[in-house]
Chains A and B, each alone.
Chain A
Amino acid sequence: MARTRILCVLAAALLVAVALSITIGAKAVPLTDAWQALTAPTGSENDIIIRSLRVPRTILGVLAGIALGVAGALMQGHTRNPLADPGLLGVTQGAAFLMVSSIIFLGVSNLYAYIWFGLAGALIASVGVFALGMVGGRGGPTPVTLALAGTAVSAFLYALTSAIVLLDEQAMDVFRFWQAGSIAARSADVVWQIVPFIAAGLILALVNAPGLNALSLGEDVARSLGQDVNRTRAVGVAAVTLLTGASVAACGALAFVGLIVPHLARHLSGTDHRWLLPYSGLIGAALLLVADVIGRVVAPPGELEVGVVLALLGAPFFIALVRRRKPVRL
């Protein structure tokens, strides 16, 4: 079947990206040495680089890429808006706000704690947006009330965050690196912390796919097909929150991935979310890793944050996409 074949090609592309991410960097490590470092480490310099730096970074890139790609496809599907990104529900600004608040008000200074606060902030913001959207919508949140509530909550939280970081140098420092978006210098512990959230988010996303297919024909048709629209929407929001919250807490503001990737994936999958979601996940992970690798080699001896590379590469690409085809109606 053609769709299964595409899935295999995308998985292979991701494997190549993983190999690049493990071998390329400030110190290039040949693939054979990298394999040895993974399977039979001897404690050499290469082994340490691979095992303590490149592998966690690569796994984090894969997780965040899958999460943001899938979250973006869910978000665009639920809002029927091709310009929706996973940060639309206030998740990104919620994470940022609670992270800087924890630094200035609670004196938190270790990275793991930031991540927990980021995750909590993302969840709280998203629940708040959903509740506000529910007040506005008749009998349940609608894409429009969700988008309005998300924009309002994001703007409000961003204002608070800005005010806080202007008061405190340490918070400012954390914030600006977080805002650039990076998967570098995170230990394996960070990676394991976000795994359960992303796994739960992915399960919810897959459960959500058939309902989202019904919903893409409009709410009335979806109801007529026996789909509980409010529950489908709630599951979708929960999935987006878990996926996006975990990635932005660990890697910073990378939500742009979630805006571009579904467009690429839709080109291959068509409108069926049961295929669109896995394609988006694989493409998201491959894209994030490749962008990260480019960031490592483009400005030696320093590195460019993956968020910066993605925005630099992604913006012209996105403009080309919009120019080449008329905007997709969802």
Chain B
Amino acid sequence: MRLQAVDVRLAYGDRVVVDGLDLGIEAGTVTTIIGPNGCGKSTLLRALGRLLKPAGGEVLLDGKRIDKLPTREVARVLGVLPQSPTAPEGLTVADLVARGRHPHQTWYRQWSSDDESAVADALSMTGLSDLADRPLDELSGGQRQRAWISMALAQGTDLLLLDEPTTFLDLAHQVEVLELVRHLHSSLERTVVMVLHDLNLAARYADRLVAMRSGHIIAAGTPHEVLTEELLASVFDLDAKVIADPVAGTPLVVPIGTRHGSPPASPA
């Protein structure tokens, strides 16, 4: 197990979001966490990435308590990309990606040839080499998201946690980002954990799905094991048919209707 949550209790102030949860992430896998809004999946990802300190239990990185490890040391092994990050105006793509080298730098040794080549590699892998000198705010949503992923790549970590990397992207750009993730996994053997909303894309691009509801893991396993009609009903309150994706053969969810009852009256 590279990364492990053991009996964690996660809370914002007095509001407990997750309680008594266990999860293990194996090396070299792509794990996707799915679940309805507010089920605690982003909170869990933040805890795995030591952005949120558990109120109980522990998170282990390679068997050691992550909160006891020096944060800079963790940053050389584990990268986290939060949901919709923001950058200061005028920051160029190259400058953003270069900041991914932060954990490898000290105040007396700011920039090395390792940094240089890591940034160049990250830019070319995300197809951004030609846009390196463009300010981030002039890019399209898909390019901008690739730039952030590129920053996380430049960090050079084996483990990558991505919180909804496809939010606000159109379908083509969603696929593009997920193809990139797949490539990281297949050719660089990175371990990826991400939160996704689109179940069909989640099924296609993950080795392992984790389905959450109300702070608990309801099911975990391969997409075939997890994405069943019964699970969709119990986790999402969704009546749906699950058929085989004609392209990838992975489960494909075709919604019929919700079980939330009659739709609430729309505000006038």
Contact = CB atoms under 8 A, between A and B. Distances in A.
Given A214-B102, A220-B51, A226 B73 contact: yes
B99 A217 contact: yes
Interface string A276-295: 00000000000000000000
A223 B71 contact: yes
User: Interface on chain A toward B: helix, strand, loop, or mixed SS?
Assistant: loop
A46 interface: no
A266 B46 CA distance: 33
Contacts of B244: none
Interface residues of B, number: 37
Contact of A271 (B73, B90, B100, B152): B90
Nearest to A77: B88
A83 to B, nearest CB: 14
A329 B87 CA distance: 9
B50 interface: yes
Contacts of B86: 217-218
Contact of A213 (B51, B72, B102, B155): B102
Nearest to B78: A224
A227 B82 contact: no
B49 A224 contact: yes
Contacts of B100: 225
B75 A224 contact: yes
Contacts of A329: 88-89
Interface string A199-228: 000000011001001101110110111111
Given A224-B49, A224-B75, A271-B90, A207 B107 contact: yes
Contacts of A316: none
Contacts, number: 84
B266 to A, nearest CB: 34
Nearest to A225: B102
Contacts of A330: 88-89
B75 A226 contact: yes
A51 interface: no
B90 A226 contact: no
A169 interface: no
Contact of A223 (B50, B90, B92, B152): B50
Interface in B101-127: 102-103, 105, 107, 110
A270 interface: yes
B91 A274 contact: no
A227 B71 CA distance: 7
Given A138-B13, A210-B107, A217-B85, A225 B95 contact: no
Contacts of A80: 88
A328 interface: yes
Nearest to A325: B89
Interface string B224-236: 0000000000000
A271 B51 contact: no
A272 interface: yes
A265 to B, nearest CB: 13
Contacts of A270: 90-92, 95
Interface string B60-79: 00000000000111111011
B167 to A, nearest CB: 15
Given A218-B82, A223-B50, A270-B91, 12 more contacts: A213-B102, A217-B86, A220-B51, A220-B82, A221-B81, A221-B85, A223-B80, A224-B51, A224-B79, A226-B73, A270-B90, A271-B90
12 contacts: A210-B105, A218-B86, A220-B80, A221-B85, A224-B80, A224-B82, A226-B72, A226-B75, A228-B71, A266-B90, A271-B95, A274-B110
